Structure 1
Amino acid sequence: MYSLYLHIPFCKQKCRYCDFPSIAADSSLYEKYGQAVLQEIIQRHEELGPINIDTIYFGGGTPSLMPIKIISAIVNSIYTNFTINNNCEITLEANPGTVDMAYLLGLKKIGFNRLSFGIQAVQDNLLKTLGRIHSNHDADTTINNAQKAGFKNISVDLMYGLPDQTMSMLEESLNWAVNKAVQHISIYGLQLEENTPFYSMHESGHLLLPDEDSVEKMYDYINAFLPLNNFERYEISNFAKKGFESRHNTAYWQDKAYIGIGCAAHSYYQQKRLYNTHNVNNYIQQATNKHFTYQQEEILDKNNWIEEFCFLALRTTQGINKNKFQQTFNCDIYSLYKEVIHNFITKNLLIDTGNFIKLTPLGMKYGNIVFEGFLL
């Protein structure tokens, strides 16, 4: 069983905090890029056969910038070349203001059953600081239209620890998301990534961020508020109403195989990680030549595989399945990590429930410390 990720790299405007692979929107490239994606789907089918697909995820960039006819052609090709499960989860990432009712109805007709909207905050001044192109009014309208179009599985992304963000602003954003009756909320603390405007501004002293105590209070508030409103935490940064957890992202955390289509996408199967070119023009040229080559191929040795298995599983509230670890690596987890696990249990960062080893609430807060302990 595989998951399928499709990368659409175009953005109207690069957000000031974002280091994801994306390029400025260029409508002259949309058709060429769409044709390239169709060509890669055919090649991956030739390499892998009609593999079973359980989840499909269009990410970016901003996939909703692509014309609906191109998205439709891609989905049709996926169904032609792969075996799609009847209850396949099919997600498209979108930004408010980039989709109207006709587009949303088109997505529904094609077969999309989940939408993920990049909201980040509901204050217009904060959205402007982030470099977002939408307003709170746009966000309101887009969520309302998605619900009217018949979508019953909607996720929103929010952020905390932002420049000039106060606790009351965070509370307002969370209340907005809960009151919009969405089914899933992802919420991330701001990370300053190199080669982003925010990083440069911070280095030069021109970016005022909340202090560590304020960020920690925000974190604590999030993790108290959302469960009280029927959003259960199932991963460090993800909360969902029961039954609405992201199956696609869960596949990543459960070390399942996935195929990446598009420039800057990567695949993972048979202990291999295979990276496509990051350059859109190179990607389109490979399609013209009808031969895609990987920019990089990485074969995970056993230690790397074990480390990643543990890191990913520990991100979830379920944790590491001890029986699955034994079956996968033919050894007991305590034979490798006995001292590490006991040390973190003593510090109230880990708990052994019998079948699982998982982070405690305190461990979730300081997960990076625990992850470092699982390096071999």
Structure 2
Amino acid sequence: MNQDSISALLESVRDDVIRWRRHLHQHPELSFQEEKTAQFVYELLQSFGNLELSRPTKTSVMARLIGSRPGKVIGLRADMDALAITEENDFEFASQVPGVMHACGHDGHTAMLLGAAKVLSPLQGHIKGEVRFLFQHAEEMHPGGAKEMVQAGVTEGVDLMLGIHLMSQLPIGKMGLTYGAVTANSDRFDITIQGKGGHASTPQSSVDPVAIGAQVISSLQHIVSRNADPLEKLVISITNFHSGTGAYNVIPDRAQLSGSVRSFAVEVRELAITQMEQIIKGITLAHGATYSFDYRHGYGSVINDEDVTRSVEELITEEWGEEVLLHLPPMMGGEDFSAFSDEVPSCFLLLGAGNEEKGIVHPHHHPRFTVDEDAMKDGVKIFVKYILKIATGTSG
């Protein structure tokens, strides 16, 4: 096994990876519904040989490449689900499923990991330890497929894990790493304010939940500006406010609010919960209303292990040079890779896939989102070279 042979193997799967990605893009499936996607992945993996296959959950797939000698067990992860978005791209391979599209790059993630599995499977005799290829369902929908896969035992005995996310916000050719927290705790809440309805001409006879809700929204913003440490990151966003039936002369009896809370530190997360309820309780009590407050923890923060992340950084600089590497601050988005990083020392790498010259500029979850497919060859190479670095002591 030498550099030329590995390069030849990587080049040999380049067209396959693009073709697989386009097939997946045409046939997207929502979270927890990835039955055809999982079957497509399973059958391809089966054709590669040397892989022990299983279905940890109904719509996920795990492939194990067990090496010829003892060594580390390394997990590689790709997510497979799509989003409930109507695609506005006019590609020949645009989504054929009404109202569903791959708008976050998961089709590319799956294709890249399939490419890595095809390259590595014939190298079984050179590998020490084990490679676990984890094709995960339902990243986009809480409680998330990663948590279910962990509960199914896929991380048992795993020494470290690597995940890659294609990013349209990063230009192609760049790779982003963050030490420590990569993504935020992403929580949700619902508030119901129960007042007393009445006629708009006699507001003194009612308890107006709309006016009370407006005060609650305004006051909740004080948690970020006045209660939380300004050096800590916290976002509280009200994203829904519903009340009334559309009548102009009726004060409704109930208002419903909901939204999202993003944080990194556990103590900041708990501060937000406590302060939110105190504010909601105080305002509703002062105006003679009652309330209910339902706060639900979402995905935790993805944490990049220092040693694993450093080894990935070393690989990137060895293979591509220091100029491609970006050290990025944590981002407020959520990612259920956190279920894996909670269990196993991990690294979550962001891979540039935007390209202004090609018009690839739209953000994730946009109906015109896409990725520069040339980025996928680097994703496959990172997976393969990292395994060779850890499992053979060489990057090829």
TM-score (ref. length: structure 1):
0.25
Q: Which has the higher contact order (CA 8 A, sep 6+)?
A: 2
More helix by share: 1
TM-score (ref. length: structure 2):
0.24
